[in-house]
Structure 1
Amino acid sequence: MTQRSSPDEKSGLHPRNRHRQRYDFALLVKVHPALAAFVRLNHYQDASIDFADPQAVKTLNQALLKQYYGIAEWDIPPQFLCPPIPGRADYVHCLADLLAAGNDGKIPYGGNVRVLDIGTGANLVYPIIGQREYGWHFVGTDINAEALENAQGIVAANPGLAEAVELRLQRNAGVIFSGMMQEYERFDLTMCNPPFHASQAAAMAGTQRKWQNLERSRGKPSGKGMKPARAGNKLNFGGQAAELYCEGGEEVFIGRMVKESATVGAECLWFTTLVSKAVTLPAVYRSLRAVDAYTVKTIAMAQGQKKSRFVAWTFHDKASQRVWSRQRWQ
């Protein structure tokens, strides 16, 4: 028997993250019995699931959303992105800290806080967590009508979401904010998990690397002789084209976002975006200097060995930020 060396607490997650502890599979199976079919002992002799199995991961997400966020009905169509809940929660909690920093250290709660989720996807995870944890109001946008149709089904099936989540279809894939921010509308935050690959080939290569890393973590052979990922395994790291790649990758997408943000800088307090690759940061900073952003922050996040970050910027000076918080949250 392999001696257990896995930690009881997941390192790096935000202190308010509900998923800092290792998954309690006995509890999760109790609240969502369908998960039982996927739970097995891992090489530490602990209960776990096969994270290369897309159906297992989706069922785990259903259990987590039901147990911790009161979401009784949640599903996504095949081939859509199935996000890791703990990492998504970290982004939301860090955004709450960002707002608190300009509000005398107090996190603003309630529907007066409005968040624009760019590329909300079929899964709706960011609005779910933000609404359940902080009561914020979300506007989720996407260029994929099928994704929004599924997200709308999640909203309709779960009490409390209809009043707090609005979905808007972006019909012009070449723009980000245009048409999504209505006249006289104000947002306290924008957030985005941008497509980070530059092509379909790059996205497929990324899928292969992730699958190999999972196989290594499970103690299976790897290296030159490793077989390509099975089609079923790809689904766990899958997603529609717009979720995974765009021409030029995340550097070009974020650059466009930054440029557009300058045109609506007065209507939003903080613009933010995840940046998957650290090597993208210099280009992002150059774009932000070009639009003369008043303040730029890079917030580091981590889940175990995985490092991530988001960049936040504002066009409001300190006095304007104080006025904003007093008028909208206090």
Structure 2
Amino acid sequence: MSTNRFMHPRNIYRTRPDFKQMAEEYPEFMKYATTGLNGKITFDFKNPDGLRLLTTILLKKDFDLDVDLPVGKLVPTIPLRLNYLLWIEDLFNLNFDSSKKIKGIDIGTGASCIYPLLAAKKFQWSMVGTDINKESIKNANGNVKKNNLQHLIQVLEVSEWDRLLPVTENEHYDFCMCNPPFHNYSELNSSDEETDCAKGVTCELYTDGGEVDFVKKIIGESQRLKNSISVYTTMIGYKSSLGPLKNELKTIGACAVAEAGFFQGRTTRWGIAWTFETDIKLKDFMPNKEIETQKLKLKPPVCFAISESYDSTTALAKLTELLTYLKLSISMLKSKTDENVLYQADVKAYENTWTHQRRKRRKEQRIADNKRQKMSDNLHNDEPDMEEQLITANAEPLFAATIVLRKTNNTIWIDMLHLDGNRNNSYQVFQFFKNRFV
């Protein structure tokens, strides 16, 4: 899982699942795993039956979802799906109040109906899933009923040659999403013997013209529907597809376009979003962008586990106390839909408040003494000190970072992702937190 560090900050799979615990809770898991001499459990990710079992276990264990994944259909990788959904949630956090009821469309929901199930269960969004395959629709409906989510999820049959987005007149959706067939049929080796299983997977992976032509159909429909959907999104399998698709969106007059990078294990996918509403804000999510431009190597977020003497309440109180002490500029990030995230904020530092603590305490004491002297001389006024003026006068921050307080498997963690500025300053603040949580 070499690129787990680039997963979305709220993705629970940034921390690798505990295979040992999983084996204890689900004995069938060991059918596809081996235990080394050191006690480490290794899973066979290349075995399709094992991968199917692992996915169903994760869905049950982490989301309380019972999902039937039929043989002959693609097995969805949960970390990737979660990355995509969390990016969409980020876009909503930019534009909507957290109390807003979200309604979306999943184009090509597949037999698993994975995106609507996760969206409904984790975020309480209302979803319409579409597909062109009757067998997939039947299985998807079965998964919806099995999890009692009929009040949030509807599965519809559509025609690829008619329309992909089943939006009627005067109907409005907040977003649409799609995991399109990535490959062109011309790339398929026709000499391969196609079993029924292979044919099923082929339909989900291949299409005429590949993903570019498929997504252009969605773009064409978006041009017709315009504001009937606030934010249009789709996943992309090839980074090279982003260029022609962004050009197409520019041609049809999209008001704003954003892109995303989804990194999980050794797999990378991309996303693209667009809107025709002038008041909708979109934001890129490209956690590896600094590496790609070779300007600055983006290091993974640093993290540490807090002492077991802290619970969720005391850990949050301590973190809040430290942030206040450091005089950091704080911009809270919404994460109410993720129970694992106790606190999340973007922070910026405009003055160094974390080094030479003794020297600073002596200086603060001298300042306090001087202020008391000024008050006694009746010379004190309400104007801010010159130092405060310099700090607040549009100064460039010493560093910017995202701080997350999260709880995973009864352990409380602090994550800190450096975003901008001097990385040494960012790391020193991280070390400051680590030293104080004892």
Instruction: Answer yes or no: same fold by TM over 0.5.
Output: yes
Runs of 4 or more, structure 1, over 4 Å off, are 42-45, 229-232
State how far apart, in whole Å, the 1-side matches of 2:40 and 2:131 are: 39
Q: Which residue of 1 aligns with 2:77?
A: 84
State how far apart, in whole Å, the 2-side matches of 1:241 and 1:136 are: 30
Question: Shift in Å at residue 83 of structure 1?
Answer: 1.2
Q: 2:21 aligns with which of 24, 27, 48?
A: 27
Structure 1 residues 262 and 87 mapped into 2: Cα distance closer, same or farther (>3 Å)?
A: same
Which deviates the most, 238-247 or 180-189?
238-247
User: Does the aligned pair in 2 maintain the 1:11–1:304 contact within 8 Å?
Assistant: no
Indicate whether 1:288 and 2:277 are aligned: no
Which deviates the most, 44-53 or 185-194?
44-53
User: Does the aligned pair in 1 maintain the 2:105–2:128 contact within 8 Å?
Assistant: yes
Q: Which residue of 1 aligns with 2:51?
A: 57
Structure 1 residues 67 and 204 mapped into 2: Cα distance closer, same or farther (>3 Å)?
A: farther
State how far apart, in whole Å, the 1-side matches of 2:130 and 2:26 are: 30
Q: 2:161 aligns with which of 162, 174, 183?
A: 174
Provide Cα deviations, 1:101-124, integer angstroms capped at 9, x if missing partner.
123xx5x367x2001000000011
Q: Map 1:1-330 onto structure 2 (within 5 A).
A: 10-41=4-35, 46-71=40-65, 73-103=66-96, 108=98, 112-159=101-148, 161-170=149-158, 172-177=159-164, 180-199=166-185, 202-203=187-188, 239-318=200-279
Structure 1 residues 239 and 31 mapped into 2: Cα distance closer, same or farther (>3 Å)?
A: farther
Question: Shift in Å at residue 32 of structure 1?
Answer: 3.4
Count of residue pairs brought into register by the alignment: 281
Larger radius of gyration: 2
Provide Cα deviations, 1:225-281, integer angstroms capped at 9, x if missing partner.
xxxx9999x96x984333111110001111111011111112110000011111111
State how far apart, in whole Å, the 1-side matches of 2:138 and 2:280 are: 41
User: Does the aligned pair in 2 maintain the 1:81–1:238 contact within 8 Å?
Assistant: no
RMSD: 2.8
Structure 2 unaligned runs (5+)? 283-438
Q: Which amino acid aligns with 1:85?
A: I
State how far apart, in whole Å, the 2-side matches of 1:43 and 1:169 are: 51
User: Does the aligned pair in 1 maintain the 2:182–2:211 contact within 8 Å?
Assistant: yes
User: Does the aligned pair in 2 maintain the 1:109–1:135 contact within 8 Å?
Assistant: no
User: Does the aligned pair in 1 maintain the 2:230–2:280 contact within 8 Å?
Assistant: no
Structure 1 residues 295 and 121 mapped into 2: Cα distance closer, same or farther (>3 Å)?
A: same
Q: Name whichever structure is richer in strand by fraction.
A: 2
Question: Shift in Å at residue 168 of structure 1?
Answer: 0.2
Q: Which amino acid aligns with 2:181?
A: P
State how far apart, in whole Å, the 1-side matches of 2:280 and 2:55 are: 42
User: Does the aligned pair in 2 maintain the 1:120–1:141 contact within 8 Å?
Assistant: yes
Question: Shift in Å at residue 285 of structure 1?
Answer: 1.2
State how far apart, in whole Å, the 2-side matches of 1:99 and 1:243 are: 28
Provide Cα deviations, 1:277-300, integer angstroms capped at 9, x if missing partner.
111112101211121111011112
Q: Which amino acid aligns with 1:81?
A: L
Structure 1 residues 57 and 315 mapped into 2: Cα distance closer, same or farther (>3 Å)?
A: same
State how far apart, in whole Å, the 2-side matches of 1:162 and 1:251 are: 33
Provide Cα deviations, 1:32-87, integer angstroms capped at 9, x if missing partner.
3322322213799631321111110000011100011111x322222101011111
Structure 1 residues 289 and 319 mapped into 2: Cα distance closer, same or farther (>3 Å)?
A: closer
TM-score, normalised with respect to structure 2: 0.59
Question: Shift in Å at residue 12 of structure 1?
Answer: 1.2
Q: Which amino acid aligns with 2:160?
A: A
State how far apart, in whole Å, the 1-side matches of 2:160 and 2:184 are: 16
